[in-house]
């Protein structure tokens, strides 16, 4: 037991001594939460609008006012020719343009269809669709107002409307930070647990100190425990730091049980640590271990976990592949607990999968470590 | 000049000799392109919806079939029970619940207005907004169809004559999405991923480079040779610079053949911008490698910086959505400018005039970072 204590002490010294890595380890969660909260957003605001109005009249002015007061749009440029739009779109000065046909007000007054063209920069398809919907809503509002004042009640009633009453459950403001925090925990825990463990064990191999440990009276299991325990602590501290920071800075809710969340985090850390040990058992150099940990654990946990990108939109092959990514299950659990406030009754399936993964991987990693010893 | 070539030759030999490195350079980008462009998508497909039809009339069934036929939704539940739908939301198997109230048809015919409740699972993030927009569009279309099918008869029957449509102000709205008419997410992502490829390879490899020479002790040997600092940095840069451009070509070929990405603008201009950008990316890598002691530190620091750069570049989420102070900071992010340039050239067909601003920022960054790298290297020698 005292041998294990000695090993633990040595590991702690190693970690504390390498200042640069330590700073990255500490700064990473803090910076990532701020970044994701403020930078990784998909909310749309301040749309840069260009107006093509070759013959301004009262109607086009009224509609332009409506766009200006809608809150979402910011008119950046008013031009008279459609050809002037190209450079505006190409250098990104404008995201959307409304083009009025010359005799707009006259057509309206005569009851002829008054033409408007909405041109949207759809390079990013989702933003494009949303912008189109926003602009159409503004024009619809104007048209309703016109009809109300101009037409008789019989004509007004002739238009049928299905009024959607939209509720966004679990995240009413659709704040992106609420969604990213659970995924962020998975991301940081993977870095700390898988990558650092893998590197730390392969470093012992590279520098030859592993041999020294092997001839010591330490048993293989003790070596593993001694190597991973400090990282388990760091991982746990990072997880708590993220939860606290998310609450303080972004007011991300924690509707469910904190205890359950921490238990699930511990389970996930166990899975990640086992993966780290497995990687280190199969690789011989730090560089290789780093690459393997990066490609084998980090990337899948970021890309295929539903953390940023919805899994259900992916091709079937990737959807199937995502089932063996531990992060996917952890993200689902953490979102359930934090945003929906559900208990074990709703996440038992995901928890069971994580537990099975932890069991299998842990057994495999201890086994592969032993095998290498002989 | 000859000294630069000799050292560059040594670098090339090092790269070619290292099998893992060569595999990394050739295979990783292709895999990255194939996986990233498929996984990194906010495209909304297969959205699972649950329809709670409490009305059970032909009108409400019509609405359900319109939602199904729109192609955006997959109906996973039709049980007329709010509890069942709620369970689906909680379990995460349902993205949106559509509740059609029991007097839907009646109030539509009587008052012309009928409510429909859409409960979107906010857990799905940006998808929630899009899903809502899609659903609203279906509702509007269906209402218009109902108007033309049901109403004229009703009104005509009441008034005994067809309604005069003239005299009612009508706005005819046409919508056009430019640069990506098919709304293909890959056409948007691939030009951005190309930038990520070039950045990863360029920065990571060059950062490792000097750190490795330090670890092996060969840097000392170089220091006692008559080579000058500028020559040293130039020789270190050159092979990776060529490599980066090769990488870009590889990415462009795969992008064209597999994803048929648009190439509206001049590819030559893209290469020019890439050459400038690579100087910045490599400069950052070299600068890091003069700062650190070991390869592990080099990789770790680089990785950390590259992740931040990529996330703040507008590659994954639009710059316009970021908080204002983040947008201001991202001005010094070279990745952001090259992503902008790449998309502007490939998708929008931008010429040199349209990308003058990001290009000049890149040029300034290159000058600054290379000066820094050279100066930093001198400090180490002294």
| pLDDT tens digits in sequence order for chain B, 382 residues long | 777 788 788 878 877 777 777 777 778 778 778 877 777 777 666 788 899 998 888 888 888 888 888 878 888 888 888 888 888 887 778 888 888 888 888 888 887 778 888 888 877 666 677 787 788 878 888 887 887 776 555 444 444 444 444 445 666 677 777 787 777 778 888 888 888 888 887 888 888 778 888 877 777 777 777 777 788 888 888 888 888 898 899 889 988 888 888 888 889 999 999 999 999 999 998 888 888 877 777 877 887 788 888 888 888 878 887 888 888 888 889 999 999 899 889 888 888 888 888 999 999 999 999 888 888 776 554 4
Q: Three-state secondary structure along chain B?
A: CHHHHHHHHHHHHHHHHCHHHHHHHHHHHHHHHHHHHHHCCCCCCCEEEEEEECCCCHHHHHHHHHHHHCCCEEEEECCCCHHHHHHHHHHCCCCEEEEECCCHHHHHHHHCEEEEEEEEEHHHCHHHHHHHHHHHHHHHHHHHHHHHHCHHHHHHHHHCCCCCCCCCCEEEEEEEEECCCCCCHHHHHHHHHHHHHHHHHHHHHHHHHHHHHHHHCHHHHHHCCCCCHHHHHHHHHHHHHHHHHHHHHHHHHHHHHHHCCCCCCCHHHHHHHHHHHHHHHHHHHHHHHHHCCCHHHHHHHHHHHHHHHHHCCCCCCCHHHCCHHHHHHHHHCHHHHHHHHHHHHHHHCCCHHHHHHHHHHHHHHHHHHHHHHHHHHHHHHC
Q: Concatenated DSSP letters for A190-259?
A: HIIIIIHHHHHHHHHHHHTHHHHHHTSS--HHHHHHHHHHHHHHHHHHHHHHHHHHHHHHH-----S-HH
According to the model, what pLDDT value does residue B160 have? 43
- Angular region, A109: left φ>0, alpha ψ -120 to 50, beta rest: alpha
DSSP string covering A132-162 = HHHHHHHHHHHHHHHHHHHS-HHHHHTS-EE
Interchain CB contact of B141 with A (< 8 Å): no
A19-38 helix and A2-17 helix, angle to the nearest 10 degrees: 70
Q: What is the pLDDT of residue B382?
A: 42
Mean pLDDT, range A61-72, rounded to an integer? 87
B266 to chain A, any CB pair closer than 8 A? The answer is: no
Superfamily name with CATH number, domain B47-159: abc type-2 transporter like domain (3.40.1710.10)
The string of pLDDT tens digits covering residues A34-59 is 777 777 776 777 889 999 988 888 88
Which residue from A28, A176, A332 is facing B92, i.e. has the nearest CB? Answer: A332
SS3 at position A5: helix
The label of the residue with tokens 């939460």 reads: A33
Q: Which of B215, B320, B342 to mutate to test the interface with A (most CBs of A within 10 A)?
A: B320
Quote the DSSP letter at residue A39: T
- Cα distance from B237 to chain A (closest Cα, Å)? 21
In whole angstroms, give the CA distance from residue A78 to residue B126: 31
Strands B113-121 and B96-100: antiparallel
Ranges assigned E (strand) in chain A: 47-52, 73-79, 96-100, 113-121, 161-169
Query: Measured between alpha carbons, how far is residue A34 from residues A42, A327, B265 in Å?
Result: 15, 21, 36
When CB atoms are compared, the residue of B135, B172, B349 closest to A164 is B135
Return contacts of B219-224, CB within 8 angstroms, 24+ apart. Answer: B222/B7, B223/B381
Chain A touched by B177 (CB under 8 Å): yes
**B179 interface with A at CB cutoff 8 Å:** yes
Strand-strand pairing, B47-53 and B96-100: parallel
Considering only the beta carbons, identify the residue of A35, A310, A318 that sits closest to B312: A35
Determine the pLDDT at residue B171: 66
Whether the pLDDT of residue A152 is over 60: the answer is no
**What span, in angstroms and rounded, lies between the C-alpha atoms of B204 and B303?**
7
Contact B211, A20 (CB under 8 A): no
Q: How are strands ordered across the β-sheet holding A113-121? A: A73-79, A47-52, A96-100, A113-121, B170-178
Q: Which residues of B163-174 are buried (b: 16+ CB within 10 A; e: fewer)?
A: beeeebbbbebe
In whole angstroms, give the CA distance from residue B203 to residue B195.
12
Across the interface, which of B155, B325, B340 has its CB nearest the CB of A158? Answer: B155
Burial of A262 (0-12, 13-18, 19+ CB in 10 A): middle
CA distance A89 to A48: 10
Q: What residues of A are in contact with residue B40 (Cβ under 8 Å)?
A: 303, 308-309
Instruction: Tell me which residues of chain A, numbers 218 to 277, contact chain B at a CB-CB cutoff of 8 Å.
Output: none
Residues across chain A: 374
Whole-angstrom distance between the N-terminal and C-terminal Cα of chain A?
23
Where in chain B are the domains? 2-41+184-381, 47-159
Confidence of residue A164 (pLDDT cuts 50, 70, 90): low
Q: A71 CB near a chain B CB, below 8 Å?
A: no
Contacts of B33 (CB under 8 A, 6+ apart): B190, B193, B194, B197, B251, B254, B255, B258
Identify the CA nearest to B274 among candidates B306, B244, B315.
B244
Which of the four pLDDT bands, split at 50, 70 and 90, describes residue A373?
Answer: low
The Cα–Cα gap between A90 and B258 comes to 26
Pairwise CA distance, residues A254 & A338, whole Å: 4
* CB < 8 Å from B in window 15-34 of A: 18, 20-21, 24, 27-28, 31
Which of A106, A278, A313 has its CA nearest to residue B42? A313
pLDDT of residue B335: 92
ipTM of predicted assembly, 2 dp: 0.72
Backbone φ and ψ of A249, nearest 5° = -85, -45
User: pLDDT of A223-264, one tens digit each?
Assistant: 888 888 888 888 888 888 888 888 888 888 888 889 999 999
Distance from CA of B31 to the nearest CA of A (A): 11
Position B162 scores a pLDDT of 43
Chain B touched by A373 (CB under 8 Å): no
Give A197→chain B minimum CA distance, Å.
13
Residue B262 to residue A51: CA distance in whole angstroms: 27
Q: How distant, in Å, are the alpha carbons of A236, A238, A362, B269 from that of A193?
A: 10, 11, 13, 44
Q: Mutate which of A25, A35, A161, A338 to test chain B, going by most B C-beta atoms within 10 A?
A: A161
Note whether B49 and B127 are within 8 A (CB): no
**For B2, phi and psi rounded to 5 degrees?**
-65, -35
Q: What is the pLDDT of residue A172?
A: 65
Q: Which residue has the higher pLDDT, A52 or A374?
A: A52
pLDDT one-digit tens code per residue, A331-356? 889 888 888 888 888 888 889 999 99
Q: In this structure, are residues A222 and A321 in contact, taking their beta carbons and an 8 Å threshold?
A: no
Return d(Cα A365, Cα A249) in angstroms, integer: 38
- CA atoms of A92 and B350, how far apart (whole Å): 10
3-state secondary structure of A167: strand
Mutant choice from A17, A24, A29, A39 vs B, greatest count of B C-beta within 10 A: A39
Tokens of B25: 């350079």
SS3 for A175? coil
Angle at B117 between CA B111 and CA B121, to 5 degrees: 165
**Contact in structure between B137 and A133 (CB atoms under 8 Å):** yes
Dist CA A215 CA B166 (whole Å): 97
What length is written for chain B?
382
For B189, nearest residue in chain A (alpha carbons): A124
How many interface pairs between A and B have CB atoms less than 8 angstroms apart? 331
| Rg from Cα positions in chain A | 29
CB atoms within 10 A of CB A320: 10
**Could you tell me which CATH class the domain A47-157 is placed in?**
alpha beta
Nearest-angstrom CA–CA distance, B155 and B345: 55
Indicate if the pLDDT at residue A23 is higher than 60: yes
Report the pLDDT value the prediction gives residue A173, as an integer from 0 to 100.
64
- In this structure, how many other beta carbons lie within 10 angstroms of the beta carbon of residue B363? 14
Asked if B140 has any chain A CB less than 8 Å from its own CB, the reply is yes
Residue of A nearest to B293 (CA): A20
Facing residue for B347 by CB, picked from A39, A46, A123: A123
Q: Name the residue ranges covered by the structural domains of chain A.
A: 2-40+174-373, 47-157
User: For residues A118 and A136, what is the distance between their CA atoms, to the nearest angstrom?
Assistant: 8
| Whole-number pLDDT of residue A307 | 77
Decide if A21 and B63 are in contact by the 8 Å CB cutoff. Answer: no
* Dihedral of the alpha carbons of B271, B274, B276, B280, in degrees to the nearest 10: -170
Give A234 to chain B, closest Cα distance, Å.
Answer: 17
């Amino acid at each position: 037991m005292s041998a294990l204590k000695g090993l633990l002490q040595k590991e702690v010294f190693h970690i504390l001594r390498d200042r640069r890595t330590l700073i990255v380890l500490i700064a990473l969660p803090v910076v990532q939460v701020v970044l994701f909260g403020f930078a990784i957003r998909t909310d749309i605001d301040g749309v840069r609008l260009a107006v093509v109005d070759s013959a301004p009249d009262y109607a086009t002015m009224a509609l332009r006012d409506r766009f200006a007061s809608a809150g979402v749009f910011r008119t950046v440029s008013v031009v008279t020719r459609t050809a002037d739009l190209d450079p505006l779109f190409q250098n990104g000065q404008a995201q959307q343009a409304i083009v009025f046909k010359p005799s707009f007000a006259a057509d309206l007054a005569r009851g002829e269809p008054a033409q408007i063209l909405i041109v949207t920069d759809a390079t990013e398809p989702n933003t494009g669709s949303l912008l189109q919907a926003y602009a159409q809503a503004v024009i619809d509002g104007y048209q309703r107002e016109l009809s109300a004042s101009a037409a008789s009640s019989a004509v007004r009633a002739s238009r049928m409307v299905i009024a959607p009453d939209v509720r966004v459950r679990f995240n009413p403001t659709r704040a992106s930070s609420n969604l990213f925090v659970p995924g962020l925990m998975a991301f940081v825990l993977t870095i700390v647990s898988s990558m650092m463990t893998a590197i730390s064990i392969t470093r012992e191999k590279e520098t030859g100190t592993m041999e020294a440990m092997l001839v010591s009276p330490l048993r293989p299991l003790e070596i593993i425990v001694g190597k991973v325990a400090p990282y388990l602590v760091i991982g746990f501290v990072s997880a708590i730091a993220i939860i606290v920071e998310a609450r303080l800075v972004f007011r991300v809710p924690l509707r469910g049980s904190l205890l359950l969340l921490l238990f699930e985090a511990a389970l996930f850390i166990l899975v990640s640590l086992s993966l780290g040990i497995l990687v280190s058992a199969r690789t011989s150099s730090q560089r290789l271990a780093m690459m393997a940990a990066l490609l084998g654990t980090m990337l899948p946990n970021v890309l295929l976990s539903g953390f940023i990108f919805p899994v259900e939109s992916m091709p079937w092959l990737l959807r199937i592949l995502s089932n063996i990514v531990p992060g996917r299950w952890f993200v689902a659990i953490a979102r359930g607990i934090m945003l929906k406030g559900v208990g074990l009754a709703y996440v038992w399936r995901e928890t069971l999968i994580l537990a099975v993964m932890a069991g299998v991987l842990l057994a495999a990693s201890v086994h592969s470590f032993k095998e290498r010893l002989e | 000049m000859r000294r630069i070539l000799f050292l560059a030759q040594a670098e090339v030999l090092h790269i070619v000799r290292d099998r893992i490195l060569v595999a990394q350079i050739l295979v990783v980008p292709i895999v990255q392109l194939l996986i990233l462009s498929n996984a990194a998508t906010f495209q909304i497909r297969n959205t699972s919806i649950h329809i709670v039809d409490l009305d059970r009339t032909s009108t409400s069934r019509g609405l359900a079939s319109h939602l199904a036929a729109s192609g955006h939704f997959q109906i996973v539940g039709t049980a007329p029970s709010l509890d069942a739908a709620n369970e689906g939301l909680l379990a995460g198997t349902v993205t949106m619940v559509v509740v059609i109230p029991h007097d839907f048809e009646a109030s539509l015919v009587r008052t012309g207005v009928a409510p429909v409740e859409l409960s979107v699972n906010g857990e799905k993030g940006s998808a929630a907004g899009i899903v809502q927009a899609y659903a609203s569009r279906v509702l509007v279309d269906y209402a218009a169809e109902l108007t033309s099918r049901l109403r004229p008869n009703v009104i005509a029957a009441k008034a005994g004559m067809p309604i005069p449509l003239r005299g009612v102000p009508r706005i005819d709205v046409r919508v056009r999405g430019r640069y990506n008419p098919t709304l293909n997410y890959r056409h948007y992502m691939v030009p951005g991923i190309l930038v990520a490829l070039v950045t990863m390879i360029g920065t990571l490899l060059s950062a490792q480079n000097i750190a490795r020479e330090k670890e092996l002790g060969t840097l000392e040997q170089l220091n006692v040779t008559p080579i000058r600092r500028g020559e040293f940095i130039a020789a270190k840069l050159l092979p990776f610079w060529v490599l980066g451009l090769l990488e870009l070509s590889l990415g462009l070929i795969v992008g064209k053949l597999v994803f048929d990405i648009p190439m509206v603008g001049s590819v030559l201009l893209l290469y020019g911008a890439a050459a400038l950008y690579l100087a910045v990316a490599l400069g950052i890598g070299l600068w890091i490698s003069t700062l650190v002691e070991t390869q592990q530190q080099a990789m770790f620091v680089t990785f950390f910086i590259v992740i931040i750069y990529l996330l703040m570049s507008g590659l994954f989420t639009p710059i316009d959505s970021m908080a204002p102070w983040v947008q201001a900071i991202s001005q010094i992010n070279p990745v952001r400018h090259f992503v902008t340039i790449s998309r502007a050239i490939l998708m929008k067909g931008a010429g040199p005039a349209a990308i003058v601003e990001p290009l000049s920022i890149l040029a300034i960054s290159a000058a600054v970072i290379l000066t820094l790298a050279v100066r930093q290297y001198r400090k180490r020698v002294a």
